[in-house]
Structures are given as structure tokens and as C-alpha cells.
Amino acid sequence: MKLLVTGGAGFIGCNFVHYMLQNNPSTSLVALDLLTYAGNLSSLESVIDHPNFRFVKGDITDREAIFALFEEESFDAVVNFAAESHVDRSIHNPGVFLTTNILGTQTLMDACRQYNVGRFHQVGTDEVYGDLPLDRPDLLFTEETPIHTSSPYSASKASADLLTQAYHRTYKLPITISRCSNNYGPYHFPEKLIPLMITRALHDQPLPVYGNGLNVRDWLYVEDHCAAIAMILEHGTVGEVYNVGGHNEKTNLDVVKTILDELGKPHSLIEFVTDRAGHDLRYAIDPTKIHNELGWTPKTPFKEGIQKTVQWYLEHRDWWQDILSGDYRNYYETMYGNREKVS
């Protein structure tokens, strides 16, 4: 089995590469990544010389390069993680989200058609379903929940999902789609909530919580997401969508307080700042379908996952300090420089 993993130097993509090399010794992997600000080759350092692994720097929107790679490698399956993934960046600069997330997906699927690839798996997000009210804990996202997006990021991911389903219906492309809730774990770029808060708390810097901090996310340890994708690749039904999530809803404030407690830092580091525009209130996944059909169930409780994650950031300071010393600083200024402190 030869797999193309796009976005393999990003957070979930690199975890998936590590997971597959550890758990599926007969699989060989090519990781393709443009190494944008979010891609970090050092996340693949430990596998770079693995006999079943190859890294290729490339752009999923570059048709010529993509078709040449497919011609050269004869892939059995493609897992598409490559994307612009940060909601706040999509609010500041939507254009690249449409190009990468929609046209890049199209390019990959065109190459899959041309070279008769056996499976195209699109890594999607629960954000395509919009949000749920805070006062209706009985409501969850199922695969039948209507698409209803809030941010340019989620709109671009929804477009990619719809295009993927259209390629299945029109061209019989053998596709599957997973829609996962918020992931956390090792190699998470420190612009997203959990790694941002860990790295800032370690520097005793204020922790910027948007609005009142009561928005809810459904957190899943990244390795559990990787296991779900591996199961879908092996046993999933072509043409189907699978929601992936762990019934693990937490307010942002609770997550930030848990991190501070793990690090032995005071809650006074929390600083409430202006809310995100269009901020989704609550995400919550119903994973019944993937559980019943494929037997997937998350293995890592939040308490254990967050401890492992905090420990990883403590033990891998070089990984994130290299990021912080790069252009991330300018990025932080752009995103937070104009946010008013409200308490």
C-alpha cells in the first residue's frame, strides 16, 4: 500500500505519518507539503530516513507538479490534510483559503482520476455544520446536519467537501470524508488555542481569551483522529462521510484553566479580549456512525491527553521556540496588536 499524505508537515498530517509508520509497517508514505508558515519539517525529523518514507516539498494547487508526482509514484490512496487551517487568519485574508482548500482539493482529485487512485480521503472539519446553541446540550452534529458555515475557513472546507462528493457522484471517484472536532496534542502550531496558551503561560505572558470564554469545543486527542482515518481508509464505505469526535465538550475558559493548573501557573494570567468576528458558539459531534460501522472509539480521556500534551511542550521547547523566534512574532502582533483589552 502506497499512500500520499498531503500537508504531512502540519499538525495532524505529521502525527498521521508517525502513526502509520508505527502501526502499519507494510504501508509506504510520501508526505507532500508546501511548508507554509504552518508546515515544519522538523516535525518529521525522526522519520525522514525511514525506508518507507519520502518527503516532497510541493503545492497541491500546482497541477503540473502534482500530476508528475502521481505519474512517478503510483499511489494506492491519498489522504488530503493540506489546507489553510486557522479561522482567525481566514478572517484577515480569505483568498488563500479558497485557493488552497478548494482548488488544491480539485487538483488532487483530478490527479486521482487520471491515475486511477483507489481512494481519495478528504480530511474535513465539524466546522462545516456551523454552530450549536449553548443551552441545548441534547443537540449534536450528525452526518445529516445541514452544511451552514460561519467563517471563510469553514466555507472553504465545506466547498471542498461538496466538490469531493460531486466527484464521487459524477466521476465515480472512490472518496471518503471525515469531519472531525478540534484536535490537540504534539506538534500543534502555537497559534491555536491549546498550544498558544501553553507556550505563553510558560513565558508568564497574558493568555488572550476571546469574549467571555464560554464558547464550547469538542476536543479529541490527535492520535485518536489518526486511528479513525486509518480505519476509514481500511474499512470505510466509499462515498460516505464519517463524523469523528469524542463527546468531550469544554468551554475555552475551562481548557485554559486546566492548562494553567497543569503548569502550576496563576489564573490571573487570563486576559479577556475582544471576541472573534462570527465566533461559533458550540461544536459537538455525534460519532455514532463511525462507532457502529467501524468500531472506532476514542482512547484518550481529556485529562490524560492534556497532561501528555503539556508534557510534550515541556520536553520539546526547541520545537516551539524555533517557531516563536521566526515570523510568528509579526503574526502575533497582527492578530492581537489591535485587540482591545476588555477586562
Q: Which residues bind ligand TYD (CB under 6 A)?
A: 87, 182, 192-193, 196, 208-210, 215, 217, 252, 276
3 state DSSP class of 34: coil
Whichever of 39 and 298 has its CB closer to ligand NAD, that residue is 39
Residue for cell digits 470505510? 236
Closest C-alpha among 221, 245, 277 to residue 140: 245
Which residues, including other chains, have CB under 8 Å from residue 304's CB and lie 6 or more apart? none
- Active site annotation includes 315: no
The CA-based angle 24-226-160, given to 5 degrees, is 120
Annotated catalytic residue: which of 33, 84, 126, 249?
126
Smallest separation, CB 6 to ligand NAD (Å):
6
Residue 343: half-sphere exposure toward Cβ, Cα within 13 Å: 9
What is the C-alpha to C-alpha distance for residues 63 and 67, in angstroms, rounded to an integer? 6
Q: How many angstroms separate the Cα of 70 from the Cα of each of 29, 257, 274?
A: 13, 47, 46
Whichever of 87 and 207 has its CB closer to ligand NAD, that residue is 87
10 binds, among ligand NAD, ligand TYD, none (CB under 5 to 8 A by kind): ligand NAD
Annotated catalytic residue: which of 84, 127, 161, 280?
127
Contact criterion met (CB below 8 Å) for 143 and 84: no
Smallest separation, CB 303 to ligand NAD (Å):
19
Exposure b/e, 259-291, CB count within 10 A at least 16 = b: bbebbebeeebbbbbeebeeebebbbbbbebbe
Binding to ligand NAD, residues 166-225 (CB under 6 A)? 180, 182-183, 189
Is 89 a residue that touches ligand NAD (CB under 6 A)? no
Q: How many angstroms separate the Cα of 194 from the Cα of each of 13, 112, 168, 305, 325?
A: 18, 35, 36, 12, 19
Smallest separation, CB 272 to ligand TYD (Å):
9
3 state DSSP class of 270: strand
12 binds, among ligand TYD, ligand NAD, none (CB under 5 to 8 A by kind): ligand NAD
- The region of 5-13, 48-56, 198-206, 315-323 touching ligand NAD under the rule CB under 6 A is 5-13
Smallest separation, CB 46 to ligand TYD (Å):
25
245 binds, among ligand TYD, ligand NAD, none (CB under 5 to 8 A by kind): none
Is 30 a residue that touches ligand NAD (CB under 6 A)? no
Is 85 a residue that touches ligand NAD (CB under 6 A)? yes
319 binds, among ligand TYD, ligand NAD, none (CB under 5 to 8 A by kind): none
- Catalytic (active-site) positions: 126-127, 153
